[in-house]
């Protein structure tokens, strides 16, 4: 366990032996990533990030966020099995259904293992981009650089991904050490969504660089680009509101639909000030008093209002994409399908009193909808094919 005198921002709870084992395992992951084809590496990292977003929702919904109340280990150990005595003691003190038990510990640690692996894969991208850059500057290394698959990728994108995933790791740590503080947990969710969006953009960029037709950018009017970006930003705001609902456990503050607890009112009694005071402990107001039902309803109702706004804006974007270019019709269809599925799941989550499967699916489909809009934004306003292939063409001429 960490020294209680250490500030919670910097606590690190792995014994020396366990820390060495952890580093060795991460280095093995690094070696595996170096052997992977570049396009496959980016795609796998994006897929794992999508899975981790859904699994993060499962961690919250099963109240497993404090299943191991230190970081990155579990009572200083790499595996919950090594910490059985400490977990049993916590269960004896807090009860079997308290924040700590064996199942919750494994759920939390599995989340950390996958997150660490994603971090390693992104580190691989950065290392390979650096190697490719240095090799591309030397004619004798040119062929090896091309075979390595990263000579024309550039360093900026992998560096950006590395910075974001590092910050995401810190917020994951603070989620635990700051006892599930809602703004920290919500920021952690948003960081995961941002990382996923950046990976999707990077994946599209690499597909275009490889010459895949469906990843090519398309010339459209400025109004189409604008509405797609507005839809993307609006969805990001709605995801924040959804995360705020989840991290404050406000899903059932309104237990029916479309009204709120049978009141049938367009605007139920709410306390916006309580609901949207960002810097406070879980379930508490800044003065230490408990958050009222009116504060929880404000959080829930804001998400419903946001859902209406987001639906209108996203449908408008899909319609404009449908009309803008024949090559964008399939993308517009995927956007509408993901939006419809998200609406149905969201309503069902309330009507069926938040079953875990539906709530996890709600997070998962939100990320899928985000991906469809990121792809659309890339295709209408991403880098041109000419810019993407400029480096590759130069390399071919040098051979």
Q: By CB neighbour count within 10 A (0-12 exposed, 13-18 middle, 19+ buried), where does 365 fall?
A: buried
Cα separation, 41 vs 170, whole angstroms: 24
Distance CA 174, CA 15 (A): 19
pLDDT value for 54: 96
Lowest average pLDDT, out of 52-56, 92-96, 385-389, goes to: 385-389
Going by pLDDT thresholds of 50, 70 and 90, the confidence category of residue 35 is confident
| Residues noted as catalytic | 108
Phi/psi at 333 (5° precision): -65, -45
How much of the chain exceeds pLDDT 70, in percent?
87
Q: Identify the band that residue 142 occupies on the pLDDT scale cut at 50, 70 and 90.
A: very low
Angle between helices 293-324 and 356-381 (to 10 degrees): 40
Tell me how far apart the alpha carbons of residues 165 and 31 are, in angstroms, rounded to a whole number.
Answer: 19
How high is the pLDDT of residue 187? 97
Question: What phi, psi does 284 have (nearest 5°)?
Answer: -125, 155
DSSP 8-state class, residue 317: H
pLDDT surpasses 70 at 272:
yes
CA distance 375 to 235: 14
Please confirm whether the linkage preceding 73 is cis (ω < 30° from 0). no
Predicted structure pTM score:
0.88
Q: How confident is the model at residue 137 (pLDDT cuts 50, 70, 90)?
A: low
Chain-centroid distance, C-alpha 265: 34
For 196-255, write each residue's pLDDT tens digit: 999 999 999 988 888 887 788 888 999 999 999 999 999 999 999 999 999 999 998 988
Give dist(CA 228, CA 61) in Å, integer.
32
Do the beta carbons of residue 207 and residue 39 sit within 8 Å?
Answer: yes
Is the pLDDT at 397 greater than 90, yes or no?
no
Tens of pLDDT, residues 1-30: 444 444 444 456 777 777 788 788 778 877
Biggest CA–CA distance in the chain, Å, is: 75
**What are the structure tokens assigned to 396, written together?**
């071919």
Rounded Cα distance, 33 and 41, in Å: 7
What is the Cα 114 distance to its own chain's centre?
Answer: 13
- State residue 345's pLDDT score: 96
d(CA 220, CA 68): 51
What is the rounded average pLDDT of the residues 291-320? 96
What does the pLDDT read at residue 146?
A: 44
Q: Would you place residue 262 in the very low, low, confident or very high pLDDT band (cuts 50, 70, 90)?
A: low
Which pLDDT belongs to residue 396? 41
- Taking Cα atoms as reference points, which of 71, 78, 99, 88 lies closest to residue 1? 71
pLDDT band at 154 (very low <50, low <70, confident <90, very high): confident
73: exposed, middle or buried (Cβ count in 10 Å: 0-12, 13-18, 19+): buried
Q: How many CB atoms lie within 10 A of CB 350?
A: 20
Of 306, 315, 320, 357, the C-alpha closest to 339 is 315
More confident residue, 282 or 394: 282
């Amino acid at each position: 366990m960490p020294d209680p005198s250490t500030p919670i921002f910097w606590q690190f709870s792995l014994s020396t032996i366990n820390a060495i084992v952890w580093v060795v395992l991460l280095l093995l992951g690094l070696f595996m990533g170096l052997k992977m084809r570049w396009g496959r590496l980016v795609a796998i990292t994006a897929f794992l990030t999508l899975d981790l977003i859904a699994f993060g929702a499962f961690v919250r919904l099963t109240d497993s966020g404090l299943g191991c109340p230190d970081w990155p280990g579990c009572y200083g150990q790499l595996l919950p099995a090594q910490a059985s005595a400490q977990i049993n003691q916590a269960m004896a003190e807090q009860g079997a259904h308290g924040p700590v038990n064996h199942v919750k510990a494994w759920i939390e640690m599995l989340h950390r293992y996958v997150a660490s692996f994603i971090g390693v894969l992104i580190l691989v991208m950065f290392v390979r981009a650096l190697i490719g850059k240095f090799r591309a500057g030397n004619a004798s290394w040119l062929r090896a650089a091309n075979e390595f698959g990263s000579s024309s990728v550039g360093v900026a994108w992998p560096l950006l991904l590395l910075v974001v995933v590092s910050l995401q790791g810190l917020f994951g740590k603070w989620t635990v050490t700051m006892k599930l503080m809602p703004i920290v947990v919500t920021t952690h969710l948003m960081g995961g969504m941002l990382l996923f969006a950046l990976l999707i953009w990077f994946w599209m960029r690499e597909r275009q660089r490889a010459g895949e037709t469906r990843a090519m950018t398309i010339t459209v009017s400025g109004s189409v680009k604008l509405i797609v970006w507005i839809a993307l930003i609006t969805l990001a705001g709605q995801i924040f509101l959804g995360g705020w609902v989840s991290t404050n456990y406000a899903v059932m503050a309104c237990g029916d639909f479309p009204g709120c607890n049978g009141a049938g009112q367009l605007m139920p009694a709410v306390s916006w000030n309580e609901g949207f005071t960002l810097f406070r402990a879980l379930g508490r107001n800044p003065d230490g008093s408990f958050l009222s039902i009116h504060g929880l309803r404000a959080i829930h109702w804001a998400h419903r209002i946001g859902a209406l706004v987001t639906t209108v804006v996203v449908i408008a974007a899909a319609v404009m994409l449908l009309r803008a270019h024949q090559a964008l019709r399939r993308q517009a269809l995927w956007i509408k399908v993901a939006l419809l599925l998200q609406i149905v799941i969201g309503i069902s989550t309330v009507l069926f009193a938040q079953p875990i499967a539906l709530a996890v699916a709600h997070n998962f489909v939100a990320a899928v909808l985000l991906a469809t809009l990121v792809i659309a934004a890339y295709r209408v306003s991403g880098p041109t094919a000419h810019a993407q292939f400029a480096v590759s063409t130069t390399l071919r001429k040098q051979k």
